[in-house]
Structure 1
């Protein structure tokens, strides 16, 4: 009777073990498939987003036959000293025209400038970051950077063109942050590329 009881307990233990291993592997496989599906879904969303995004045209807008001097511009608004408009012009706040565009005849106005930016595409001045980011040559870089977006739905709901994308990238890039509230380099802290800001030696 004792032997039979032991055999029964052993069989019960083995059955329970097999069931546990099966359930664990099944759960792991389900999580893996779900993660893979979400990654594919996100990649597809980003691809559609990049295809429909309005990219900055090549060439100086003032030399274009379609240039309209009465056109309304969007601009970065919050800059204390500098403003960047959606043509990629950076100007002094007092050089902003009534239509929201920078006055291109003002001496300090620069178009698609990277004046305070490093090769890492991290800049001292936020408006320079946005202006530099708007250079058409940076389209491929922005496309690569956006393939790593975790939640493209949030991004797609608020961004419709390269200007809005650059405003967001320069304001919220994780590449410039070391910890939650600490910049890797407190001087070159506005980034839009894929290389992190260099650590500043104190």
Structure 2
């Protein structure tokens, strides 16, 4: 009788182990399939996403009506940059969200605080400089890299303004050891390379 019980117990444990292994294998395959499907969907979302580049004609907005409305960078305490590439002080922002280009303080495609490596001291300068039509080849390479690496940060961007806003934000590429900036001053970058590593002076 004891032998029968021991046999049944072993049989039950063997069946349980086989069922458990099948369950684990099924779950891992299903998870792998889900991840592959997710990557596929992100890649194809990026490929299907219509993208609008800045017009090469810098005066294209001359032909628009006075009802023109602009998106802008919103959060700057002193400066704002609108989607046309104009940077202005907050007090020079019109009710339509556009920088008032009639003031001498409003400048377009301002790279004043930007270095040759495309890293800038002021966030709004980074966005304004990035919006120059001649930056398109650089940004096309960045978009292609995003597609290749399935970078979800760029899935939702639909034009050069949104891309520049996202690219100029500080990211993991801007820091070292997860707690300090590679370049504490010029930390807003729209290029392919991270900020130059600066030696700390003690």
Per the TM superposition, whether the score is higher than 0.5 is yes
Q: Is the 8 A contact 1:42 1:151 kept in 2?
A: no
The CA distance in 2 between the partners of 1:180 and 1:102, in whole Å, is 39
Deviations, residues 42-85 of structure 1 (Å, cap 9, x unaligned): 22222222x2x3221123x22x5964484454443544443323
Task: Judge conservation of contact 2:118–2:191 (CA < 8 Å) in 1.
Answer: yes
Shift of 1:34: 0.7
Q: In structure 2, which of residues 146, 159, 162 is the aligned counterpart of residue 161 of structure 1?
A: 159
Partner of 1:29: 29
Residue 47 of structure 1 corresponds to 47
Residue 58, structure 1, aligned to residue 83, structure 2: no
- For structure 1, which runs of at least 5 residues remain unmatched after alignment? none
Alignment of 1:71-86 (within 5 A): 71-86=68-83
Task: Map 1:115-130; keep pairs closer than 5 Å.
Answer: 115-130=112-127
> TM-score scaled by structure 1?
0.70
Paired position in structure 1 for 2:109: 112
| Residues 1:90 and 2:92 are matched in the alignment | no
> How far 1:23 moved relative to its partner?
1.9
Partner of 1:189: 187
Match of 1:200 in 2: 198
Query: Structure 1's 139 and 196: CA in aligned 2 closer, same or farther, altered over 3 A?
Result: closer
| Cα pair 1:176 1:185 within 8 Å, conserved | yes
Is the deviation greater in 178-187 or in 23-32?
178-187
The 3-state SS of whatever aligns with 1:90 is strand
Deviates more, 1:122-131 or 1:2-11: 2-11
Distance change in 2, residues 1:102/1:142 (3 Å): farther
Report the Cα distance in structure 2 between the residues aligned to 1:165 and 1:7, rounded to whole angstroms: 67
Calculate the aligned-residue CA RMSD, in Å: 3.7
TM-score by length of 2: 0.70
Classify 1:96/1:15 alpha carbon distance in 2 versus 1 (closer, same or farther; 3 Å). closer
Report the secondary structure of 1:200's partner residue.
coil
Segment drifting more, 131-140 vs 36-45 = 131-140
Shift of the 66–90 alpha-carbon distance from structure 1 to 2, 3 Å rule, reads closer
Structure 2, unpaired ranges of 5+: none
